[in-house]
Structure formats: structure tokens, C-alpha cells
Amino acid sequence: MCGENHVGLSFIYPVLLNLANNTLSANESDLAAIRSFKNTVRKELITRFKLLSRLLAESIPITACMLDPRFKHLKFLPDDVREEAQARLTQLVREDGEWNSRELQVNEKL
């Protein structure tokens, strides 16, 4: 199957946020070099993928996560970002419904 060979879009942010928040968290038992490495990689992930951005909730990968049954509850996100993402998806669904409604009206007139 295709899913066995390729990573889906919905996997990106759960993995990145798990890395940034858990795996790359410095431990007291870490050697100084390892602690430095973890901090550097963590900061780069946060910066490059905008993990702390307020716009994260509006991103296509987060929308893909909500539509994927494995991640639909967005437990990997902070509460405020989760609520914002859910509101954004609700807005997109409403807009799509309005657009479809207008298209039906136009087709009926033809």
C-alpha cells in the first residue's frame, strides 16, 4: 500500500511536536554535549517549522491531522492552538457548505 511506503501529511506535526516537547528535552543526567545538541536541534525545529506560531492552527498539516482519525483530537497541541484549529476547520466547512449551496442555486437556474 502507498501508506506503507510514504509518510502522510498528518504525521508531520505530531512527530515534530513530540520531538520538541519530549524526546529533545534536556535531562539532568545528559552530558553537557548531549544537552547542547538537544537544545540546538529543539530550537531549530521550533524555528524552522514555526511550532510556536499563532498561525500553526491555520496550517494545512494541522487540518490534515484533524481529518485523520488517528490524530483528530489534536492532543499533541496546546489547548489554545487546538481550539483555534477546530474553529478554523468549522469555518472551512461552513464556507464550503455556503459555496456548494450557491452552486446548486446557479445550476438550478440553468
Convert the pLDDT of each residue in 25-55 to its tens digit.
Answer: 999 999 999 999 999 999 999 999 999 998 9
Cell numbers found for residue 55: 498561525
Question: 3-class SS at 81?
Answer: helix
Q: How many domains does the chain have?
A: 1
Domain that holds residue 105: 2-109
At residue 63 the predicted structure's pLDDT band, cuts being 50, 70 and 90, is very high
User: What are the backbone dihedrals phi and psi of residue 6, each rounded to the nearest 5 degrees, phi first?
Assistant: -130, 145
Read off the pTM.
Answer: 0.76
